[in-house]
Amino acid sequence: MSIKIVHHGKLPALAGFRHADKATHAIYGAFAAAGGSVIANLFDLNSVAVPVASAAAFAVGKEIYDEKVRNKQWKIWDVIAIITSALIYAAVVSK
């Protein structure tokens, strides 16, 4: 098994192993949560809810983009992968 970094669209993605697409979504979900965490800290907002909400908004927005622009089918497992990584990020950071 070889792990590769490829470009399927505008951003890099993992490839070469089972569920590489979901792992890529999880990584981007963690980045979205980190961005939400920065916003939460800047504006003194909830440090768990804002990162998770920002990742959820990113997940839904990304799937809408895939459906409308890239003509790809909506994948609920992509949304779940993004939100799950945000929940893990929030759990780790909030301790």
For 17-64, the pLDDT digits (tens) are 999 999 999 999 999 999 999 999 999 999 899 999 999 999 999 999
| pLDDT for 89 | 87
The encoded tokens of residue 43 equal: 């504006």
Contacts by 36-45 with C-beta closer than 8 Å and gap 24+? 36/86, 37/89, 37/90, 37/93
| pLDDT for 8 | 77
For 67-88, the pLDDT digits (tens) are 999 899 989 999 999 999 999 9
For 11-21, the pLDDT digits (tens) are 899 999 999 99
pTM for this predicted structure:
0.88
The ranges assigned to domains in the chain are 19-93
* Contact between 30 and 86 (Cβ < 8 Å): yes
